[in-house]
Amino acid sequence: MKILVCIKQVPDAEAPIRIGADGRSFAVTGGAWRMNRFDEFAVEEALQIREAFPGTVVEALSVGPARAAAVLRRALSLGADEAIHILREGEEEPLPGEVAALIAAYVRDRGYDLILAGVMAEDDMQAQTGPMLAERLGLPCATAVVAETIPPNGMTIRVERELEGGLREALEMPLPALLSLQSGINRPRYPALSHVLRARTQPMMTVRAGDLPAPPRRERVVLLFLPAPAAKTLFLTGTPAEKAERLAELFREKALL
């Protein structure tokens, strides 16, 4: 079996993030980037499938600038066999349709039995790349997957999807297929020392995005901005008695008393 895991590099939530000078991208202070948390579950699920089906090959793929190679090294340190970097120059974040087109152009006819991805990216939370990729490749697709089982014959895959209200939907699909995985489907492992050492020197395949056929962008980010404050804050001054009196007046003005 041959499995592809799509991963993304996102800003660390603890890092100071501001809107870039172009007004259409994010600037991350100190270069604090890491693997998307949802994609960590996809990597772990691929590794567990490999353990259940000896001979399975797990490959990780990421679309992004040169710094995105770091998350591919992370995937290798977790146990992925190979890594593919679709190098896209520029800091402007590609939109889901563009990412899906680039991945589809590379992976088509490469014989993947299963493609896994996180249910969404933490930075934009659009949850569109996986389904768009499945559509481009003509693959059956299940989103928000919280459990999966592959029968011994390896011809189909059975999944459970998370629905609203605590409901679940059970599906059975032929392979090859694409799944976007929900958090909690497994518990991502810590990297083994042997894998960490291998990941430092293992070569990865680099493909320039400009060498792949991709349609023109159908949408563009026009502007990023912070929303205006929804309410004002009023600080009361004076003695405790004066503050209490003023607070009572405000409550009466707003019909709260």
> What pLDDT, in 10s, does the model give residues 154-171?
899 999 999 988 899 999
pLDDT beneath 50: ranges in the chain? none
Q: Would residue 49 count as lying in a domain? A: yes
Count up the domains in the chain and report the number. 1
CA distance 26 to 123: 10
Q: Would residue 223 count as lying in a domain? A: no
Q: Would residue 72 count as lying in a domain? A: yes
Among the listed residues 37, 52, 55, the one whose alpha carbon sits nearest the alpha carbon of residue 181: 37
Q: Would residue 22 count as lying in a domain? A: yes
Q: Would residue 233 count as lying in a domain? A: no
CA distance 140 to 134: 7
* pLDDT for the residue 23: 81
Could you give phi then psi for residue 60, rounded to 5 degrees? -110, 140
* pLDDT for the residue 91: 63
* pLDDT for the residue 69: 95
Among the listed residues 85, 139, 83, 87, the one whose alpha carbon sits nearest the alpha carbon of residue 111: 139
Among the listed residues 54, 48, 59, the one whose alpha carbon sits nearest the alpha carbon of residue 81: 59
* pLDDT for the residue 13: 76
What is the rounded end-to-end Cα distance, in angstroms, of the chain? 69
* pLDDT for the residue 16: 76
Q: Would residue 47 count as lying in a domain? A: yes
Task: Find the domain containing 89 and state its range.
Answer: 2-211
Q: Would residue 224 count as lying in a domain? A: no
Q: Would residue 179 count as lying in a domain? A: yes
CA distance 161 to 171: 8
CATH number, domain containing residue 82: 3.40.50.620
Quick one: DSSP state of residue 223?
Answer: -
